[in-house]
Amino acid sequence: MKIATARQMREMDRAAIQDRGIDSTRLMENAAQAVAEAAFLAAQTRPEREGRIRRAICFCGAGNNGGDGVAAARQLLERGMEVRAVLVGRREKMTPDNREMERRLESVGGHLEDFRPEDPAFVQWCLDADVMVDALFGIGLNTDLRGDSLTAVQMMNTCDIPVVSADIASGVEADTGRILGDAVRADVTVTFSLAKAGHFLGKGDLCTGRLIVTEIGIPLDLVHGVESGLYSVCGNDVRLPERPRESHKGDFGRDVIIGGAMGYTGAPVLAARAAVRSGAGLVSLGVPEPIWPIVAAKLETAMPRALPAGADGMLTLAGIDQAEAMLRPADACLIGPGLGRDSETAELVRRLLRTTAAPVVLDADGINALEGHIDVLEERRGRVTILTPHDGEFARLGGDLSGGDRLSAARERSRRLDCCIVLKGHRTITAFPDGTAYVNTTGNPGMAVGGSGDVLGGIILSLLGQGFPEREAVPMAVWIHGRAGDLCAETLGEYSMAPTDLIERLPQVLMECERRSRTL
């Protein structure tokens, strides 16, 4: 799904109204219709109370987002609901379109009243409502909420009443998902023409609820012409083609994993199992000699090979020739799972990065090997390199998350390092050097467990080795990984899942992707 910036949305509105001559109030009516429909349906989920019709309260700002709310109030009134439209803001600040919607509301017997949180009767009426509409602010908010607006948001958040937000939950910064002081925690958000980054990123995702994207009459060529380079990855975006009937194992990738250390035997095994379960044809592992028997006993469908190790059970430079020989015919390689932090092991990683032509996925201690040696990546320019850091590892790559804008930070590091960056976490971001980025929509807190990242590394490795282009393989792998976690949560709960459970759900996820390819 394409995602637009606030600036692009404003320009699209301007072009539709000024250049194409579309009546702005017509666009507002269409937006309000979608909001009213969502609010009407949300109200039906509330228990019926004898002798009383459904109630809706619409909190409306003075801007055009508030006009959407005023128009929605009129439409709900026309549907037979009992409605109160409340202006949270100053009347002299109301936009012309908002005033027109007030006039239309009055023409059917409604009224745009002032916000009176100090009035007990008003508060009680709000508490008896079946649905609340948040139309305080749209995508233009860039300062912290305060005064009556903050009070209205807090009222919506402290009531056990469904909330429908118009365009974006008030208090969420549209381009980053940052919370500006406080924000409405909506059950449903109805947004217009295109989704915004704040619906997915940061805590904005937690405030969005179910997202509905609706057309409001802006010409489709304007909508399709928007190019922010930002996309969300949803189920319909992830498809797996049917495999040719004459295929053999060599057609689906010769993948190599370099990892493992004494005490860290699980990480490379998880990665290998995930790669095999994701469709890899051949998977080989280079592991320290002392742990080779353990890894070999755990793996039936991957091929471990012993490499020289030091007294600490970690890989040494003595194995560089053997490791390079393993990587030479590889279609893709994963370096890092369970390597441990040793200076000689880190140097081996850096040597492999310099000499390996195959696509490289660098994870965990493979990333840590770059600390203080980020210049190594300069030597890989023009080759596929994928870094999969969590926040701490991202900082070691020179990334800065202090501003709360994860998207911009991931894009900046990706451009600077000329690598694909997979910034792991809630709503994992995949960024490419040209600024294109993908926001994942799957996953849950149950996946926050050691070994989950190794499974992700194995899936990315597998799809790359099968020949999927980097731009497809990485966002798809992140989605598949999260979807497996969501299936685990459905059956095991978020407390009990383990990385091995993620691998066991991969066949189900991949079958979904295969079916989707056949039906779409």
Residues 143-196 have pLDDT tens digits of 999 999 999 999 999 999 999 999 999 999 999 999 999 999 999 999 999 999
Residues 32-46 have pLDDT tens digits of 999 999 999 999 999
Instruction: Answer whether residue 109 shows pLDDT above 70.
Output: yes
Residues 6+ apart with CB under 8 A from 156: 59, 132, 134, 163, 184, 185
pLDDT of residue 373: 95
Q: Give the chain's mean pLDDT.
A: 96
Diameter of the chain measured on Cα atoms: 85
pLDDT of residue 489: 97
Instruction: Answer whether residue 519 shows pLDDT above 80.
Output: no
3-state SS assignment for residue 275: helix
In the chain, what is the straight-line distance between the N-terminal and C-terminal CA atoms, in Å?
15
pLDDT of residue 498: 97
pTM above 0.85, yes or no: yes
User: φ and ψ at 403, to 5 degrees?
Assistant: -80, -5
- pLDDT bucket at 98, cuts 50 / 70 / 90: very high
Residues 322-380 have pLDDT tens digits of 999 999 999 999 999 999 999 999 999 999 999 999 999 999 999 999 999 999 999 99
Residues 6+ apart with CB under 8 A from 402: none
Overall average pLDDT of the 272-286 stretch: 97
Taking phi over 0 as left and psi of -120 to 50 as alpha, with beta for the rest, 167 belongs to left
Asked if 139 contacts 6 with a C-beta cutoff of 8 angstroms, the reply is yes
Closest CA to 371 of 346, 401, 396: 396
pLDDT of residue 246: 85
Overall average pLDDT of the 108-132 stretch: 96
Q: Residue with structure tokens 């009443």?
A: 161
pLDDT of residue 132: 98
Dihedral angle sign, alpha carbons of residues 282, 466, 2, 397: positive
Asked if 399 contacts 372 with a C-beta cutoff of 8 angstroms, the reply is no
- Rounded Cα gap, residues 165 and 65, in angstroms: 10
Q: DSSP string of 292-304? A: HHHHHHH-SSSEE
- Rounded Cα gap, residues 156 and 398, in angstroms: 40
pLDDT of residue 248: 82
pLDDT of residue 185: 98
pLDDT of residue 244: 83
The letter for the amino acid at 167 is D
Q: Could you tell me where the DSSP H helices lie in 302-446? A: 320-327, 343-355, 365-368, 391-396, 406-417
The letter for the amino acid at 470 is E
Residues 369-419 have pLDDT tens digits of 999 999 999 999 999 999 999 999 999 999 999 988 999 999 999 999 999
- Rounded Cα gap, residues 105 and 107, in angstroms: 5
- pLDDT bucket at 520, cuts 50 / 70 / 90: low
Overall average pLDDT of the 127-147 stretch: 95
Segment holding 11, helix H or strand E: helix 6-14
Q: CB pairs under 8 A, 24+ apart, for 76-79?
A: 76/36, 76/39, 76/40, 77/105, 77/108, 77/109, 77/110, 78/108, 79/36, 79/40
The percent of residues above 70 in pLDDT, for the chain, comes to: 100
pLDDT of residue 250: 83
- Rounded Cα gap, residues 390 and 428, in angstroms: 9
pLDDT of residue 15: 97
Q: Residue with structure tokens 């299936």?
A: 487
User: φ and ψ at 364, to 5 degrees?
Assistant: 50, -120
